[in-house]
Amino acid sequence: MLSFWKSFAIPGTGEKGYVDLKIKLDFKGGHSSTPPEHTAIGLIGKVIVEIEEHEFESYFTEVNPTYWQYVCLAEHSVDLDEALKKDILTSQFDPEANKRVREFIKSDRKTRYGVMTTQALDLIDGGSKTNALPEFVELTINNRVIIEESLEDVKQKYIQDVLKVANKFNIGVNYVSDKGEKEIIKTPEVGDDKDTEDYQGEFTIEILNYGPVAPLTPTNDTQWSIFAGTIRHVYEELVWPEKYLTSSIESNSDSSHDQDNNKPSIVVSPGLGSGNTDTKLYWNLTNHIYRYRPGEISSVNSNAHGINEYIKFDSHLQIIVFIIELINGFEEFDEFA
């Protein structure tokens, strides 16, 4: 009995939105010899706990390329659990199946953010010296916003997180939009004047950078067919012919298997880019944007943006071959020549 497999290529046909924000706390200072029960740093610490224990919602809907990625997996995988396969294919009309699929995707850090907004607490700054209570602390958070959500959803999430601490300790809360517009969310009952003895402090949630969710790339037209076909051609016929072509010939000689479904092949599926790219500069030029880098290792596994970022040499060659083949593929069609 021959062994058959499917490999998946998942170019990004969508891209998350982007939000950087700061949560700042202005607080009463003083000498460290007579500290309050919670310093400004301690209060920001409580906000951090609220934020990390309160994740964003997860979604598994047809507007997100992640959904179609898993539909392709359910339809083409030869070893996917049958119960999971059924849940994926019935998820849009069975809420419990939808929930089980979301929990499955969320169980792995490499896949979970295809169905939810991220929150990365990246920077914190506060205090000036050991004998003075900190009067100002700020926390900077990076978010990659899922297709089903918006800046307003991000705003409301962090307002609720901050309010849990602000309400307990009678601290004011403000919101500053990406356009610099200030909104007072909560005014403390007493102590709103920083120069008075009973000043309680003030949180400010400030949007630093905002980028909307990218337009989706069509996946049911000629452009997609050429792009996906080029991926299959390069990897099935040029890069790994011994894996795909040889095995396909063997499978065609085995009449006990369905030829289309069982022969080894690469399935090209829509996907959602978990990071952000410079494609926003091209949104007004074309809606056929594919976020895809050929190669044997993904960028998130190659120390991207860090020390010793690298690419395999074979992957470098595959990128060159892919681009040449893609250009040749489009030149064969008069409408793109």
DSSP 124-193: EEE-S-TTB--SEEEEEEEEEE-TT--HHHHHHHHHHHHHHHHHHHT-EEEEE-TT--EEEEE--SS---
- How many independent structural domains does the chain possess? 3
110 lies in the same domain as 122: no
The reply to whether 124 falls in a domain is: yes
27 lies in the same domain as 127: yes
What are the C-alpha distances in Å from 223 to residues 219, 277, 332? 8, 21, 12
pLDDT for 151: 96
> What is the domain-level CATH number for residue 299?
3.40.630.10
The residue-averaged pLDDT of 202-212 equals 96
- Tell me how far apart the alpha carbons of residues 296 and 9 are, in angstroms, rounded to a whole number: 11
| Contact criterion met (CB below 8 Å) for 8 and 269 | yes
Q: Given a cut of 60, is residue 255 above it in pLDDT?
A: no
284 lies in the same domain as 294: yes
82 lies in the same domain as 42: no
The residue-averaged pLDDT of 196-200 equals 62
CA neighbor of 186 nearest in space, from 198, 161, 203, 200: 203
Q: Given a cut of 90, is residue 225 above it in pLDDT?
A: yes
Question: How many angstroms separate the first and last alpha carbons of the chain?
Answer: 46
Burial (0-12, 13-18, 19+ Cβ within 10 Å), 313: exposed
Q: Is the dihedral of CA 134, 135, 136, 139 positive or negative?
A: positive
pLDDT for 336: 61
273 by DSSP, 3-state: which? strand
Q: Please write the tens of the pLDDT for every residue from 21-68.
A: 999 999 888 888 888 888 999 999 999 999 999 999 999 999 999 999
pLDDT for 290: 94
120 lies in the same domain as 191: yes
Provide the domain limits for residue 262: 6-12+215-336
Helix H, strand E, coil C: the string for 99-129 is HHHHHHHHCCCCCHHHCECCCEEEEEEECCC
What pLDDT band is residue 193 in, cutting at 50, 70 and 90?
low
What pLDDT band is residue 258 in, cutting at 50, 70 and 90?
very low
Name the pairing type of β-strands 6-9 and 265-268.
Answer: parallel
Q: Does residue 190 or residue 146 have the better pLDDT? A: 146
CA neighbor of 243 nearest in space, from 9, 1, 4: 4
| Contact criterion met (CB below 8 Å) for 318 and 234 | yes
The reply to whether 320 falls in a domain is: yes
pLDDT for 300: 58
Q: Does residue 307 or residue 124 have the better pLDDT? A: 124
CB atoms within 10 A of CB 73: 18
276 lies in the same domain as 310: yes
Predicted TM-score (pTM) of the model is 0.85
pLDDT for 126: 93
In degrees rounded to 5, what are phi and psi of residue 69?
-60, -45
307 lies in the same domain as 219: yes
177 lies in the same domain as 284: no
Among residues of the chain, what percentage have pLDDT more than 90?
Answer: 66
Lowest mean pLDDT among 88-92, 178-182, 301-305: 301-305
pLDDT for 299: 62
Lowest mean pLDDT among 83-97, 132-146, 198-212, 219-233: 198-212
110 lies in the same domain as 220: no
Q: Given a cut of 90, is residue 171 above it in pLDDT?
A: yes
Q: Given a cut of 90, is residue 246 above it in pLDDT?
A: no
pLDDT for 256: 39
124 lies in the same domain as 196: yes
Q: At residue 86, what is the residue type?
A: K
The reply to whether 1 falls in a domain is: no
Q: Is the dihedral of CA 308, 313, 317, 319 positive or negative?
A: negative
Please name the helix (run of DSSP H) or strand (run of DSSP E) that holds residue 238, with its range, or none: none
Domain boundary among 181, 211, 241: 211
Q: Given a cut of 60, is residue 160 above it in pLDDT?
A: yes
49 lies in the same domain as 165: yes
Name the pairing type of β-strands 120-126 and 136-145.
Answer: antiparallel
Which residue bears the tokens 């299959």? Answer: 232
Among residues of the chain, what percentage have pLDDT more than 70?
Answer: 87
Lowest mean pLDDT among 190-194, 268-272, 289-293, 311-315: 190-194
Q: Is the dihedral of CA 297, 301, 305, 309 positive or negative?
A: negative
Instruction: Tell me the pLDDT of the chain averaged across its residues.
Output: 88
> What is the domain-level CATH number for residue 198?
3.30.70.360
